[in-house]
């Protein structure tokens, strides 16, 4: 899936936006997330996951090509922690499958919207 | 920043009502969830990419009792930070990290 497909799904599912407006809106969502992370602020998207920032100290490493020891400088990194809901959506339990319409709420919502 | 703060920020920036901004934000993450559920990767240039990685079954342990527990095979989403965002994040090192703890919802 690319950003263009997210735009298409916004255009198709949420009425009232032109294609251009849909594209601008999706761009803006990712742009704002980048700005937020660029201010050192974490993002928690309930039902999806958390974008977490971590400061790493300098540590020794090796050039994987030559094996030469090098210093890995201190840095700030971004990691993604998937929410339990997203993990469950990717791993539906077999005993829940028959009642997917009633029981497996996240899946039912995702398909129904 | 939480999802509802992202919705508020989008409403302000794009002159949408909060209700409309909420539809937009939910649609973005719902589409992404649908793609991952189908085992499809997602690529957002400048931001990063999501892939679904399969993990084999293994025998784990209950950390409290030490009893072996079979862990079934599973699929987990994996995020690779894009080059652009990686640099943006690293250049914010002089700022304190904010946004609360890392707890799940």
Give pTM, 2 decimals. 0.85
Report CB contact under 8 Å: B90, A76. Answer: yes
| One domain, residues A51 and A71 | yes
- Give the CATH number of the domain where residue A57 resides: 4.10.520.10
Report CB contact under 8 Å: B43, A29. Answer: no
Closest CA to B92 of A72, A78, A71: A78
Closest CA to A75 of B100, B44, B88, B45: B88
Domain assignment present for residue A97? The answer is no
Of A1, A42, A113, the CB nearest to B99: A42
| One domain, residues A36 and A47 | no
The CA dihedral of B93, B98, B101, B105, to the nearest 10 degrees, is -110
Torsional sign, CA B32, A35, B90, B96: negative
Q: What is the mean pLDDT of residues A44-71?
A: 95
pLDDT digits (tens, 9 = 90+) for A73-109: 999 999 999 999 999 999 988 765 554 444 444 444 4
Q: How many domains does chain A have?
A: 2
**Residue A54's domain spans which residues?**
42-92
Closest CA to A100 of B36, B37, B24: B37
ipTM over 0.85: yes
Question: Is A33 near chain B, with CB under 8 Å?
Answer: yes
Q: CA A42, CA B104: separation in Å to the nearest integer?
A: 13
| One domain, residues A70 and A51 | yes
Domain assignment present for residue A2? The answer is yes
| One domain, residues A46 and A88 | yes
Q: CA B57, CA B4: separation in Å to the nearest integer?
A: 37
């Amino acid at each position: 899936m690319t950003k263009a497909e997210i735009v298409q799904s916004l255009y198709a599912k949420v009425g009232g936006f032109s294609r251009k407006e849909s594209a601008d809106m999706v761009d803006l969502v990712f742009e704002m997330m980048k700005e937020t992370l660029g201010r050192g602020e974490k993002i928690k998207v309930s039902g999806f996951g958390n974008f977490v920032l971590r400061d790493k100290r300098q540590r020794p490493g090796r050039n994987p090509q030559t094996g030469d020891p090098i210093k890995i400088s201190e840095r700030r990194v971004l990691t993604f922690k998937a929410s339990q809901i997203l993990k469950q959506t990717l791993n539906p339990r077999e005993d829940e499958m028959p009642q997917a319409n009633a029981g497996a709420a996240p899946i039912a919502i995702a398909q129904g919207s | 920043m939480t999802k509802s703060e992202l919705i508020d920020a989008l409403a302000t920036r794009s002159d949408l009502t909060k209700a409309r901004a909420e539809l937009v934000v939910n649609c973005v993450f719902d589409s992404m969830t649908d793609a991952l559920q189908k085992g499809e990767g997602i690529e957002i240039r400048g931001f990063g990419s999501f892939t679904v990685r399969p993990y084999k079954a293994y025998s784990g342990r209950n950390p409290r009792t030490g009893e072996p527990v079979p862990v079934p095979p599973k699929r987990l989403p994996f995020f690779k930070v894009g080059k652009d965002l990686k640099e943006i994040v690293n250049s914010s090192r002089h700022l304190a990290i904010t946004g609360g703890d890392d707890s799940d919802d």
